[in-house]
Amino acid sequence: MPKVTVDRDGCKGCEHCTAVCPQRILAMSKEINAKGYFFARVTDRPRCIGCRLCAIACPDVAIRVECHGVAYRFFDY
């Protein structure tokens, strides 16, 4: 099963990941992080298909996706 991890304090609450997830399993927390933002969280991990779109969409590289023994974090500077 793919494992998606959101770096709680690295998130700036832009909601890009929640918009791109085809399974709609990312949502914004009702808590705030150290920066004062509502951060993204995974709501239904078993339904994740490991597409990595959330990690690609995150502008702050705050999402890590692990599947088939490989860890993915994407950035393009």
DSSP E strands, the chain: 3-6, 26-32, 38-42, 63-67, 70-72
Q: Which residue has the tokens 């998606």?
A: 4
- The residue within the footprint of ligand SF4, chosen from 27, 43, 50, 74 (CB under 6 A), is 50
Binding flag, residue 11, ligand SF4 (CB under 6 A)? yes
Kindly tell me which residue out of 5, 43, 51, 73 binds ligand SF4, with binding defined by CB under 6 A.
Answer: 51
Using CB under 6 A as the binding rule, the residues of this chain from 20 to 49 that contact ligand SF4 are 20-23, 25-26, 39-40, 48-49
Residues near 53 by beta carbon (within 8 Å), at least 6 away in sequence: 20, 21, 22
Q: Looking up tokens 């709680």, which residue turns up?
A: 8
Residues found near ligand SF4 in the complex (CB under 6 A): 2, 4, 6, 11-17, 20-23, 25-26, 39-40, 48-54, 57-58, 60, 62-63, 65
